[in-house]
């Protein structure tokens, strides 16, 4: 698919349904290339080596066309799997991919079509949650009350404001071009999604995220590290005397160079988004 013909800003403004149409087709072509296949295999290897005992219940949050679900189905032959996504197009293909295992996959896999974040999903049942190459498109029709149900800790908004208003002391290191209001909204939206991830997990459950990145975690500036930690709900220390609610603790982080970052380049057309890969982060639910 020729990505240069896609107006990503326009598509993303249309809400998650774009993954049933233009972005769904784009994602099908992206996710089936060699870089993505290799990354899905790396993530699977990580999960297999991390868990001594096969986890009982695994959720793939925004599972797309089921690339990870199918691998997990093969590797964890006794686990119950749930794939959640807003795209009927991609979920149908996830079903077809699972069908290709030649087994009665419906005995162990449940596919749920819903717009995320969704606070009505069963709480605290998953042992493991995957969130791989997230590109959650906010639902423009989501009623405010839906967000309110999962409302923030009182100081979260103030922490997000501070992290959005602050700029790198060395302007050459500043990676953000958005105005503070846009940046604050995106920090809050990502934190809200992490809150939804935490809600689905049991206490002590494990969340494995593969996030697009340009550098390993230990090479991030203090400010970028704090913004990332706020987004994923793992911020431990107070910021400017304010404390965000900590939902997760980071227990491992590995950086892989990979061409998967071109997913981001297609959207931003910023050449720096061609150089990097993804961060595979393991977090424990507090
Ligand atoms: C970049 S794809 C990643 C898919 C999958 N995790 C993978 O790595 O193959 C992003 C996925 O998020 C889903 N998505 C985006 N916004 C959503 C929303 N608001 N609600 C539910 N699903 C959404 C899309 O349908 C798509 O499957």
Task: From 77, 187, 202, 217, select the one nearest 128 (Cα to Cα).
Answer: 202
Question: Quick one: pLDDT at residue 123?
Answer: 97
Question: For a pocket test of ligand 1, which of 6, 71, 135 has the largest count of ligand atoms closer than 8 A to its C-beta?
Answer: 135
Query: How far, CA to CA in Å, does 112 sit from each of 66, 84, 267?
Result: 12, 5, 27
Q: Is the CB of 118 under 6 A from ligand 1?
A: no
Domains detected in the chain: 3-285 (3.40.50.150)
3-state secondary structure (DSSP) of residue 239: strand
Q: Which residues pair with 238 in a beta bridge?
A: none
Å from CA of 136 to ligand 1 middle: 6
Å from CA of 144 to ligand 1 middle: 21
Question: Quick one: pLDDT at residue 144?
Answer: 57
Question: Quick one: pLDDT at residue 145?
Answer: 47
Å from CA of 173 to ligand 1 middle: 30
The alpha carbon torsion through 204, 63, 193, 222 (nearest 10 deg) reads 80
Task: From 91, 61, 14, 280, select the one nearest 190 (Cα to Cα).
Answer: 61
Q: What is the pTM of this model?
A: 0.95
C-alpha–C-alpha distance, residues 142 and 15, integer Å:
10
Give the gyration radius of the chain's Cα atoms: 18
Task: From 218, 216, 225, 224, select the one nearest 256 (Cα to Cα).
Answer: 216
Cα angle 83, 85, 86; round to 5: 155
**Exposed/middle/buried for 112, CB within 10 Å: 0-12, 13-18, 19+?**
middle
Longest CA–CA separation in the chain, Å: 57
The alpha carbon torsion through 148, 212, 87, 184 (nearest 10 deg) reads 30
Q: Is the CB of 117 under 6 A from ligand 1?
A: no
Å from CA of 151 to ligand 1 middle: 23
Å from CA of 62 to ligand 1 middle: 4
Question: Quick one: pLDDT at residue 172?
Answer: 79
Characterize 121-150 residue by residue with b for buried, 16 or more Cβ atoms within 10 angstroms of its Cβ, and e for exposed.
Answer: beeeebbbbbbbbeebbbbeeeeeeebeee
Token pair of 178 as six digits: 């958005």
Token pair of 255 as six digits: 């950086």
C-alpha–C-alpha distance, residues 25 and 30, integer Å:
9
3-state secondary structure (DSSP) of residue 7: coil
Q: Is the CB of 121 under 6 A from ligand 1?
A: no
Contact predicate 126/205, CB 8 Å: yes
Token pair of 185 as six digits: 């909204």
Q: Is the CB of 63 under 6 A from ligand 1?
A: yes
Question: For a pocket test of ligand 1, which of 64, 71, 120, 134 has the largest count of ligand atoms closer than 8 A to its C-beta?
Answer: 64
Question: Quick one: pLDDT at residue 147?
Answer: 53
User: Which of ligand 1's atoms lies nearest the C-alpha of 263?
Assistant: 1
Å from CA of 255 to ligand 1 middle: 22
| Segment-wise mean pLDDT, segments of 10 residues, the chain, 286 residues | 93 95 97 98 97 94 98 96 98 98 95 96 97 93 57 86 91 82 94 97 98 96 96 96 97 98 96 95 98
């Amino acid at each position: 698919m020729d990505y240069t013909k896609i107006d990503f800003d326009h598509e993303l403004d249309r809400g998650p349904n774009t993954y049933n149409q233009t972005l769904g087709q784009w994602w099908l072509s992206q996710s089936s290339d060699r870089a993505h296949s290799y990354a899905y295999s790396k993530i699977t290897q990580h999960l297999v080596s991390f868990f001594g005992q096969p986890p009982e219940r695994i959720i793939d949050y925004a599972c797309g066309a089921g690339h990870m679900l199918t691998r997990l189905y093969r590797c964890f032959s006794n686990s119950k799997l749930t794939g959640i996504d807003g795209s009927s197009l991609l979920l149908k293909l996830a079903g077809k991919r699972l069908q290709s295992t030649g087994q009665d996959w419906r005995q162990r896999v449940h596919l749920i079509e819903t717009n995320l974040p969704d606070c009505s999903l069963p709480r605290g049942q998953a042992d493991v949650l995957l969130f791989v190459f997230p590109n959650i498109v906010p639902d423009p029709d989501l009623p405010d009350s839906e967000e309110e149900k999962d409302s923030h800790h009182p100081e979260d908004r103030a922490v997000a404001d501070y992290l959005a208003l602050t700029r790198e002391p060395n302007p050459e290191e500043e990676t953000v071009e958005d105005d503070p209001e846009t940046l604050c909204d995106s920090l809050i939206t990502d934190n809200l999604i992490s809150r939804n991830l935490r809600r689905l997990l049991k206490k002590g459950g494990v969340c494995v995220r593969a996030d697009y990145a340009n550098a390993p975690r230990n090479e991030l500036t203090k400010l970028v590290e704090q913004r990332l930690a706020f987004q994923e709900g793992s911020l431990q220390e107070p910021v400017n005397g304010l404390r965000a609610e900590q939902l997760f603790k980071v227990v491992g982080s590995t950086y892989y160079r990979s061409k998967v970052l071109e997913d981001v380049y297609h959207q931003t057309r910023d050449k720096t988004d061609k150089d990097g890969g993804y961060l595979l982060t393991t977090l424990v639910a507090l």
